[in-house]
Amino acid sequence: MTNGAVRVVAAGDHFVLPSLITRALAEETDVETRELTLGWPLEPFGPVAEVSEASDAEEELIGALDGAQVLVTQMGPVTERVLEACPALRLVVVCRGGPVNVNLDAARRHGVLVCFAPGRNAAATAEFTVGLLLAALRRIPQAHDLLARQGSWAGATYYTYEHSGLELEDLPVGLVGYGAVGSRVARVLCAFGARVMVYDPYVRGEVHGLRLTSLDDLLRRSAVISLHARLTEETRGLIGARELALLPPGAVVVNAARGPLLDEDALCDALGQGRLSAAALDTYAREPLPPDSRLRPLAGRVVLTPHLGGASRAVAQKAARIAAAEVGRWVRGEPLAHCLT
């Protein structure tokens, strides 16, 4: 197969734009590109047939893939039906940290390689996590709401000793997980002068801060904990009522990783009882956050954002470049860097 014979569908959306993918491909290799724009995030993702977190666009994808050997996408639903209808397809590159929108078993049966784009949002999520932490410690959203929305100078209450916030310098902060995001958060917090502690049984070598070998020990010693673990069967519900009870009174919980790492009911109980002073969350057990979530009435003590940790222009650009690099390797017959099938 010559380079010019390779046909690629750039099935982007309103975040990872098709034009970003096309531009990155042009810088990497010589291919024929067809663009398709899917609806996310203006239209929600969800389960599509047997895959999860995808745009409901099987028909559009099948039509665009006619005769194409390569698909680069973020939210395209690569289902059994799509794979069956597109026999020329040989490579799928997903512009995400994991190909949850791809039926991997079906891809193997059809001889389709599946790649992904790890690390694309690590810097953005780390920065957002620190922002959440600062917002929770210094009551920034609550003060903004009082002044900008309610026109009240009552935010001065936060200058009283009882209600004033905490500063990061000398504050003991525990990080649960030390991967691409957690390690970046650790470096930033160390620069602030925080006393960083790390628990991650899977990481070897040096860490920024003090490594602890026990999660319970980390919790007992942390005024703030920030979650950065991967979501697995082992880590689902990692922080529950027992773990939250180990934190010192008035502690703060931050989660910009995965919602199911944290027992939300236990968190709400701890906040409602005054055992925790605040929480800052970007991810939830159920997304979108249900209208009847117990977190909503606690808005005075929690910072809630709608899973925005990875929402930066640089993330979209990095995702396109990582995906294009994989396509370039495939075209040149080189080993793929991030391949699951």
Location of structure tokens 């040096």: 206
Cα separation, 87 vs 84, whole angstroms:
6
Cα separation, 271 vs 295, whole angstroms:
9
Strand partners, 226: 175, 254
β-pairing verdict for 210-211 and 224-227: unpaired
Which among 23, 211, 221, 307 is annotated as catalytic? 307
Distances (CA, A) of 278 to 71, 292, 301: 44, 20, 5
% helix, strand, coil for the chain, step of 5: 35, 20, 45
Cα separation, 31 vs 262, whole angstroms:
45
Catalytic: 258? Answer: yes
Catalytic: 14? Answer: no
Cα separation, 257 vs 259, whole angstroms:
7
CB 16 within 8 A of CB 45: no
CB 8 within 8 A of CB 72: yes
Tokens for 157, please give them.
């209450």
* Angle between helix 313-332 and 122-138 (nearest 10): 160
Which among 195, 258, 329, 338 is annotated as catalytic? 258
Which among 43, 80, 127, 287 is annotated as catalytic? 287
- 307 DSSP assignment: S
For the beta carbon of residue 190, count every other beta carbon within 10 angstroms: 15
Query: DSSP string covering 252-282, please?
Result: EEEE-S-GGGB-HHHHHHHHHTTSEEEEEES
The helix/strand count (H/E) of the chain reads as 11, 14
| Residues acting as catalytic residues | 258, 287, 307
